[in-house]
Structures are given as structure tokens and as C-alpha cells.
Amino acid sequence: MMRLLRFIYRKINKNEPPYYYYYSVWRIIVKPIRKYFNVVVIPNIPFANLRIFMYRCCGYKIGKNVFIGMKCYLDDMCYDKITIEDNVGISYGVYFACHGQRQGEHTPITIKKGAHIGMRATLISGKKGIVIGENSMVGAGALVNKDVPENSVVVGVPAKIISKV
């Protein structure tokens, strides 16, 4: 069935079909369910431990003693590219994006031990990915699109280093 669809696409459009033409039927069924849970259900769970457990069930790599606030959006297309290490605090409404228009492949976001991400911050991985260093702080509302060195505080749009801790 899928081969027939790809064949028809090639005949009509005279080029290769997009990546989703190669998805299995199982993936076509499961992907919207995972997306619904990741975008609608999990961010609204009022219990932090249950919220983190559900994120882990979706495939995110989350360490021990981590807090993730409500209404956070972890990129549902790249659950394997987001790594959150131990003792990290992520405040309310933080947005993680591992992909973008004309970016090509999806790139990783890594948050190292002891880091804290302020309320409504946005982390965009760009073409090379980003790393938030150990014991760093990202201010509320900041737009992080480059690596943050360890033991530093960044704020603003785009985020700039204002001090070293």
C-alpha cells in the first residue's frame, strides 16, 4: 500500500516523496497521540513528579532531582535530542525548539547539572545545537540561541552574559 502511494507520488510530481511517505502505519497512528500528550496533557498536569514521569515515558532524557514547571513545551518532534541533567530547575512556560525553517536536521539541546531556566525563556538550538553550562542561570523571558558557559547568568533577547557566578 505504502509503495503504491510512493509510486503514484513519483509519477505525478516527478520527484521523490517527502519523508513522511516512508512512515509505517504504526508510526502514523502513534505520532499524533504522542504529540497530543506532549502538547496538551503533560504541560497541564499539576503534579511535578507525575509531569516529569510522563515526559520520561515520552522518551525525553531527564536526570534526577529535576523540576519542570507547568506549561513548558518540549519539542515533540525531537524527544531524543533534549537532555536535561541532574538538579535542574525549569520554570513555568519554557519553550524548547530543536528544529526550525531551513535548519536542515534537528539539533540537540543539553542542559547541564545545576542549571536554572527562568520563566517563559525560549531555547532554540539553531544549526549546531546549544548547551546550557553547569550552574548557569537563564533569565526570565530570555531567548537562548547560543551556548551558555558554565557558572554564568544570561538575560535578554537574544541572551547575553551579564555576570559570572
**Rounded CA gap, 127 and 99, in Å?**
8
**Taking a C-beta distance cutoff of 8 angstroms, is the pair 122, 90 a contact?**
no
**76 & 149 share domain:** yes
Instruction: Name the DSSP letter for residue 105.
Output: S
The tens-digit pLDDT sequence of the chain (165 residues) is 677 877 888 888 888 887 777 778 888 888 888 889 999 999 999 999 999 999 999 889 999 999 999 999 998 888 889 999 999 999 999 999 988 776 778 899 999 999 999 999 999 988 888 999 999 999 999 999 999 999 999 999 999 999 887
Q: Is the dihedral of CA 46, 47, 48, 50 positive or negative?
A: negative
CATH code of the domain covering residue 135: 2.160.10.10
The residue among 39, 110, 35, 36 whose CA lies nearest residue 72 is 39
Q: Is 40 exposed, middle or buried (0-12, 13-18, 19+ CB in 10 A)?
A: exposed
Q: Is 99 a catalytic residue?
A: yes
* Domain extent at residue 33: 1-44
Predicted model pTM? 0.82
**5 & 86 share domain:** no
**73 & 107 share domain:** yes
**29 & 59 share domain:** no
Choosing from 6, 31, 34, 99, which is the catalytic residue?
99
